[in-house]
């Protein structure tokens, strides 16, 4: 029996982009005789290990934005004997193409940018008009250049039911009421963040209607979480900073709906099978929509948006501030009806 073809992918360095990249991973592994390994930041292993398409995750000891040339060279040398025949480089930076080049992988596909074409054997121009969605850009690398894309598979992460039980016990969580997850953070910057007072009003409305509210996020979101649950009922819990990334996957799978900024957790919620209510302001939903059939999007499409800035250049954040808690709560109610239909 012939050995499977070994493929290496270099993953993006953002949580949401990594989830969207799973579409490419699914495309590449449609054949039964393919083994896919993925290189990513240290935190990425928690998500890559939940992707059935990924055989092994290799961690790169480099922070976001760091060149880490020595680490990339060492990893490339270490992988040079692994027998990879193809590599797919999803980020568009020069440094991201170094590992497959050092590893001597013969076929290296990626978008031509940052003068890195010398490191690629199959450089592709990025057609931003044809490939408007980020997921389409990643998935296109798995097809011949310029080919029309089929309907792409949605991301889907494995759920660990044993870990769900452990989390329920450790965090003293109940699912007797419908759970709505609220994700107030956005690593990109405040121009992506729905006002915390809106999240707080939404939490108050939800708990008054006998919904459980779980606020999810990192340690950096803990203060926002406290503000959100302060005026809500006893069924509101601030879990920010109390969970690992893989725990968030399992908690979102227990949730009937998730309200999120355009962030990595929004995409994790979609991949966990949760109905997503996405809040968009400085970024357009057509570029990074929740990749699930079960979603609602709030986007006002103001004259000043999408600005794609980290902070509001006009200082008012009207693109998000004018999305009312009442409107979002109506979407949550619809999502909960969908979940029980």
pLDDT of residue 341: 66
Instruction: Give pLDDT tens digits for 225-249.
Output: 999 999 898 999 999 999 999 999 9
47/45 Cα distance (integer angstroms) = 5
On whether both 294 and 191 belong to a single domain, the answer is yes
Domain boundary among 140, 172, 201: 140
Contact 214/181 with Cβ under 8 angstroms? yes
On whether both 59 and 122 belong to a single domain, the answer is yes
On whether both 315 and 166 belong to a single domain, the answer is yes
Q: pTM for this structure?
A: 0.95
**Helical (H) or strand (E) element with 275:** strand 275-280
Contact 230/200 with Cβ under 8 angstroms? yes
Contact 18/265 with Cβ under 8 angstroms? no
Is 70 exceeded by the pLDDT of residue 1? no
What's the mean pLDDT in 220-229? 96
Tell me the pLDDT band of 170, cut-offs 50, 70 and 90: very high
Number of compact structural domains in the chain: 2
Nearest to 176 by CA among 238, 254, 260: 254
Beta-strand runs (E) in 133-210 = 179-183
- Full DSSP string of 193-241: ---HHHHHHHHHHHHHTT-EEEE---GGGHHHHHHHHHTS-TTEEE-TT
Does 38 fall in a domain? yes
What's the mean pLDDT in 306-327? 92
Q: Which domain holds residue 212?
A: 162-340
What's the mean pLDDT in 312-340? 93
On whether both 73 and 133 belong to a single domain, the answer is yes
- Full DSSP string of 239-258: -TTSS-HHHHHHHHHH-SEE
Is 70 exceeded by the pLDDT of residue 276? yes
pLDDT of residue 188: 79
Mean pLDDT estimate for the chain: 94
What's the mean pLDDT in 326-331? 98
Structure-model confidence comparison of residues 117 and 10, the more confident one: 10
Does 153 fall in a domain? no
On whether both 211 and 285 belong to a single domain, the answer is yes
Instruction: Give pLDDT tens digits for 65-111.
Output: 678 899 999 999 999 999 999 999 999 999 999 999 999 999 999 99
pLDDT of residue 68: 86
On whether both 182 and 331 belong to a single domain, the answer is yes
Does 180 fall in a domain? yes
On whether both 134 and 167 belong to a single domain, the answer is no
207/203 Cα distance (integer angstroms) = 6
pLDDT of residue 182: 98
Q: For position 285, which CATH number holds?
A: 3.40.50.2000
């Amino acid at each position: 029996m012939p050995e499977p073809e070994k493929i290496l992918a270099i993953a993006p360095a953002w949580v949401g982009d990594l989830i969207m990249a799973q579409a490419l991973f699914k495309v590449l592994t449609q054949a039964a005789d393919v083994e896919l390994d993925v290189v990513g930041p240290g935190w990425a292993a928690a998500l890559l290990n939940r992707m059935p398409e990924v055989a092994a995750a290799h961690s790169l000891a480099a922070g976001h934005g760091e060149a880490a040339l020595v680490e990339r060279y060492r990893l490339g040398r270490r992988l040079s004997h692994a027998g990879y025949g193809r590599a797919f480089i999803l980020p568009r930076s020069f440094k991201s193409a170094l590992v497959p080049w050092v590893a001597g992988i013969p076929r290296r596909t990626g978008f031509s940018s940052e003068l890195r074409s010398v490191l690629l054997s199959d450089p592709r121009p990025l057609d931003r008009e044809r490939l408007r969605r980020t997921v389409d850009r990643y998935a296109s690398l798995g097809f011949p250049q310029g080919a029309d894309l089929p309907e792409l598979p949605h991301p889907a992460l494995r759920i660990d039911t044993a870990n769900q039980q452990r989390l329920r016990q450790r965090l003293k969580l109940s699912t007797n009421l419908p759970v709505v997850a609220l994700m107030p953070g956005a690593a990109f910057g405040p121009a992506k963040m729905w006002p915390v007072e809106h999240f707080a009003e939404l939490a108050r409305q939800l708990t008054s209607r006998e919904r459980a509210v779980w606020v999810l996020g990192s340690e950096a979101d803990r203060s926002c979480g406290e503000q959100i649950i302060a005026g809500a009922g006893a069924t509101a819990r601030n879990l920010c900073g109390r969970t690992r990334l893989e725990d968030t996957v399992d908690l979102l799978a227990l949730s009937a709906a998730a309200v999120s900024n355009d962030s990595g957790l929004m995409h994790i919620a979609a991949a966990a099978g949760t109905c997503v209510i996405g809040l968009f302001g400085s970024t357009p939903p057509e570029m990074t929509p929740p990749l699930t059939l079960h979603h609602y999007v709030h986007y006002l499409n103001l004259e000043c948006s999408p600005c794609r800035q980290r902070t509001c250049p006009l200082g008012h954040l009207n693109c998000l501030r004018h999305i009312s808690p009442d409107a979002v709560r109506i979407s949550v109610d619809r999502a909960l009806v969908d979940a029980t239909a």
